[in-house]
Amino acid sequence: MNIEHLRVILPHALAHRIQWHDKIVAQWDNDMRNDPLSIYMAKKAVNEMHRRYLEQSYRIKEALAVAYRISEGEALEPILGDHPIFWDIRKDLGEQYSTVS
């Protein structure tokens, strides 16, 4: 399975689980669409997640690689970023990295 498989399957799984805010439903309710509203909104959400993944994946993968090297004893500083995964990486590395320098 690859990311394209997920992009096809995920909206159908999410459509039955996501509780949308009324503001979002109102925003997309009048869009021209071929899918039921719940599937349409889930597809839009998955497309947005994919866009963000493409924008940030290189830097996140780099941060994880550096974190691994730190965990193996190299004297490096974790890569900083504004995505919560960067905060989690620092927290997982331990006390000395858990706060932003």
Q: Which pLDDT score is estimated for 100?
A: 52
Residue 25 has pLDDT above 70, yes or no: yes
How far apart (Å, rounded) are the C-alpha atoms in residues 86 and 46?
A: 22
Q: Which pLDDT score is estimated for 24?
A: 85
Residues in the chain, total? 101
Residue 98 has pLDDT above 90, yes or no: no
**Mean of pLDDT over the chain:** 89
| Alpha helices (H) in the chain, listed in sequence order | 3-14, 22-28, 37-71, 84-93
* 52-73 tens-digit pLDDT: 888 888 999 999 999 999 999 9
How far apart (Å, rounded) are the C-alpha atoms in residues 100 and 3?
A: 32
Domain around 59: 3-97
> Which segment, 13-22, 45-54, 61-70, is predicted with the most confidence on average?
61-70
Are 15 and 42 a contacting pair, CB within 8 Å? yes
Q: How many structural domains compose the chain?
A: 1
Q: Which pLDDT score is estimated for 27?
A: 87
How far apart (Å, rounded) are the C-alpha atoms in residues 97 and 90?
A: 5
